[in-house]
């Protein structure tokens, strides 16, 4: 029986309409007696603006926009999709899942649909799971979405976190193939690095909200952990694929902080000119971060057929991972 692989055949993304620059955000925060500035945010994070969801724009609707964009790019009808995996930390409700709601909106009722929660590492976890399921031979075409509306769980009185996050969605179509597309993947986690490092501990019980409903973060510890874990993960996934770092043509890291991205690229040995950077325009969009950046690179022809693409992310848990892909898609 021939070996089954999976490959990316389409990418898509979606952003809310409202772009908020650092200066606009600083002006809004000043009304709450929170002091910050464009320079303070840019020099520490590389972020210049982010998109914030308007009232009524749900996680599911944002996911639908990205999904339809990816379906169009792949030339795929929604009825052909037999697997939907949605990575999100900000679902519209506890259940049904965002994936099932998305399936209903797209009108593709066959196959499986489920959510996956690994926060900022969610998309890397999701595409790894979809690839594994396609390789079983049971599923043929998967829609993988990373989507988050982080602005709704950010404490706007906490300068250390509220300037970092934006809202967005990114998606890929992953199809069964007789040629390798996804070359290798590595997922890792360390539960001892728990909510004291990065977390949002709020929950609902007995009809009441309990705990802290906002994101809290130890920035210095996250920085150290992110640099170390992603560097190690990159080396491991390249070894799994029997490739050298010099063979990586495009590097798509989690768009959380430009300084982290630059430090990881330096430790891995990837030139900065190979690194996709969208954090300046989008901020940290959590699970949407990597697919947003990937779609941006694909649409600007920064990725060409035959290129080796390294995608990486790290998030609360702490959880992290890397996916190595051979780009088999023709440029538009």
On whether both 119 and 253 belong to a single domain, the answer is no
Domain of 27, CATH number, reads 3.40.47.10
Which two tokens mark 182? 């996804």
Output the tens digit of pLDDT for each of the chain's 332 residues: 689 999 999 999 999 999 999 999 999 999 999 999 999 999 999 999 999 999 999 999 999 999 999 999 999 999 999 999 999 999 999 999 999 999 999 999 889 999 999 999 999 999 999 999 999 999 999 999 999 999 999 999 999 999 999 999 999 999 999 999 999 999 999 999 999 999 999 999 999 999 999 999 999 999 999 999 999 999 999 999 999 999 999 999 999 999 999 999 999 999 999 999 999 999 999 999 999 999 999 999 999 999 999 999 999 999 999 999 999 987 76
Which of 152, 179, 206 is the C-terminal boundary of a domain? 179
On whether both 170 and 188 belong to a single domain, the answer is no
On whether both 222 and 275 belong to a single domain, the answer is yes
Secondary structure element (H or E) that encloses residue 116, with its range: strand 112-116
3-state secondary structure 37-58: CHHHHHHHHCCCEEECCCCCCC
Q: What is the dihedral of CA 284, 285, 291, 295, to 10 degrees?
A: -80
Number of domains in the chain: 2
CB 170 within 8 A of CB 146: yes
On whether both 213 and 312 belong to a single domain, the answer is yes
Report if residue 332 sits inside a domain: no
Strand order in the sheet with 5-14: 5-14, 167-177, 141-149, 83-87, 112-116
On whether both 117 and 237 belong to a single domain, the answer is no
Long-range pairs for 221-227: beta carbons < 8 A, 24 or more residues apart? 221/193, 221/197, 222/197, 222/198, 223/257, 223/259, 223/260, 225/193, 225/197, 225/314, 225/318, 226/254, 226/256, 226/260, 226/264, 226/314, 226/320, 227/260, 227/263, 227/264, 227/267
On whether both 193 and 228 belong to a single domain, the answer is yes
Report if residue 331 sits inside a domain: no
List the one residue out of 286, 268, 292 whose CA is nearest residue 276: 292
| CA gap 46, 230 in Å, rounded | 19
On whether both 119 and 17 belong to a single domain, the answer is yes
Secondary structure element (H or E) that encloses residue 219, with its range: helix 219-240
Sign of CA dihedral 50, 56, 57, 59: positive
| Catalytic residue (choose from 129, 200, 250, 254) | 254
Answer yes or no: 300 catalytic.
Answer: no
Question: Which three-class secondary structure state does DSSP give residue 13?
Answer: strand
pLDDT tens sequence across 268-284: 999 999 999 999 999 99
On whether both 191 and 322 belong to a single domain, the answer is yes
pLDDT value at position 332?
Answer: 63
On whether both 192 and 153 belong to a single domain, the answer is no
pLDDT value at position 289?
Answer: 98
pLDDT tens sequence across 186-228: 999 999 999 999 999 999 999 999 999 999 999 999 999 999 9
CB 262 within 8 A of CB 141: no
On whether both 160 and 71 belong to a single domain, the answer is yes
Question: The whole model's pTM is what?
Answer: 0.97
Answer yes or no: 284 catalytic.
Answer: yes
On whether both 159 and 16 belong to a single domain, the answer is yes
Report if residue 125 sits inside a domain: yes
Structural domain boundaries, residue 288: 183-326
Report if residue 299 sits inside a domain: yes
Which of 179, 202, 231 is the C-terminal boundary of a domain? 179
On whether both 174 and 195 belong to a single domain, the answer is no
Which of 125, 150, 179 is the C-terminal boundary of a domain? 179
| CA gap 64, 60 in Å, rounded | 6
Answer yes or no: 254 catalytic.
Answer: yes
13: preceding bond cis by omega (within 30 degrees)? no
| Catalytic residue (choose from 120, 162, 200, 250) | 120
| CA gap 144, 134 in Å, rounded | 12
Report if residue 120 sits inside a domain: yes
CB 311 within 8 A of CB 323: yes
CB 97 within 8 A of CB 147: no
């Amino acid at each position: 029986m021939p070996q089954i692989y999976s490959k990316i055949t389409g990418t898509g993304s979606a952003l809310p309409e409202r772009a908020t620059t650092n200066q606009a955000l600083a002006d809004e925060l000043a009304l709450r007696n929170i002091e910050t500035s464009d320079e303070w945010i840019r020099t520490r994070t590389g972020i210049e603006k982010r998109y914030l969801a308007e009232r009524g724009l749900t996680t599911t609707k944002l996911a639908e926009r990205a999904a339809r964009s990816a379906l169009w790019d792949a030339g795929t009808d929604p009825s052909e999709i037999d697997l939907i995996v949605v990575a999100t930390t900000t679902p519209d409700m506890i259940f049904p899942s965002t994936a099932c709601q998305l399936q209903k909106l797209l009108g593709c009722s066959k196959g499986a649909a489920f959510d996956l929660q690994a926060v900022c590492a969610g998309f890397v976890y999701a595409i790894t799971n979809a690839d594994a399921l396609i390789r079983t031979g049971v599923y043929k075409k998967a829609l993988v979405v990373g989507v988050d509306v982080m602005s709704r769980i950010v404490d706007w009185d906490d300068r250390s976190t509220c300037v970092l996050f934006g809202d967005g969605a990114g998606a890929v179509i992953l199809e069964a193939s007789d040629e390798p597309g996804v070359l290798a993947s590595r997922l890792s986690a360390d539960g001892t690095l728990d909510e004291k490092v990065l977390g949002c501990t709020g929950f609902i019980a007995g009809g009441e909200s309990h705990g802290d409903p906002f994101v809290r973060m130890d920035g210095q510890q996250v920085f150290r952990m992110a640099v170390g874990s992603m560097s190690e993960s990159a080396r491991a996934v390249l070894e799994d694929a029997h490739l050298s770092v010099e063979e990586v043509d495009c590097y798509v890291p989690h768009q959380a902080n430009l300084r982290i991205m630059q430090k990881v690229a330096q430790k891995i040995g990837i030139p900065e000119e190979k690194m996709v950077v969208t954090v300046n325009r989008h901020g940290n969009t959590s699970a949407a971060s990597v697919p947003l950046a990937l779609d941006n690179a694909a649409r600007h022809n920064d990725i060409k057929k035959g290129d080796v693409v390294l995608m990486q992310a790290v998030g609360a848990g702490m959880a992290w991972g890397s996916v190595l892909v051979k780009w088999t898609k023709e440029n538009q």
